[in-house]
Structure 1
Amino acid sequence: MKYYYSYPNRLCLIWICEEDKYITRVSFQKPDDSYKEQETPLIRETARQIDEYLDGERTEFTLPLNPQGTPYQKSVWNALQRVYFGETRTYKQIAEAIGNPQSCRAVGLANNKNPIAIIIPCHRIIGSNGKLTGYAGGLEIKEKLLLLER
């Protein structure tokens, strides 16, 4: 069964989704109708860890994740999880990290499709000129997340 529940926090409203005891989405938009609204222990724990992160009390997440995507997208998302708290990388650096240095644009597209915001830290990826680039929650939220990690 697929479940979701929404939580307001000090940053925004998020929706957390669970399927088969794995977190499959943390999003700034309500999931589709294939999900049933129900708070589960795992969803509640995810919200708690996100709150701790936003309060500056947590730098890593310890949750079972199962983001759905293509093998290429998953390779990018795995690389994103190796960009640690307080660090940033460029799209080019992620492309190099996955062994495909010419795929900066494809990395950007995969970054854009990241289904587990905040926990898979796509907000830590910036343009090669050091500027903030797109973010599903908006650039204001991306900037706040990066400032939180300084």
Structure 2
Amino acid sequence: MRQALERCDLGNLIPKLDTTERWDKELSLGEQERLAFARLLLHKPAWVFLDEATAALDEDSQRRVMALFDDELKQTTVLSIGHRPDLAVYHTRTLQLVHGRDGDRLKLKPPPAPPPPRRWLQRLDDWLLKIGP
């Protein structure tokens, strides 16, 4: 349990594990979301259904908790709903709900392309390779 809390940036809760509190009042929404991810690490379910599960997290926290699926929950199938475009990189398939005159339908979207490298970063890499170690 301690490792799961630490992996989700909740190490500050370890001394309070035996404390009874109104945790819904004590923890911020982001902490509550990270606590839900810590529970996933403990239970390692076959399926996970996420509905805006990272909405209260900043980008770095979102990146860290979503990386847990690749690092520690590789066998878990994730079905998630989210509005943040940057979540797409964590999924192998994306379905979009399309509204039309004949009703609503799901449309399979292609996976996102990786972002192009920044030119200045590429030039720096080239320069570093030229000068050597």
TM class by smaller structure: under 0.3
TM-score of the superposed pair, with normalisation by structure 1? 0.25
TM-score of the superposed pair, with normalisation by structure 2? 0.27
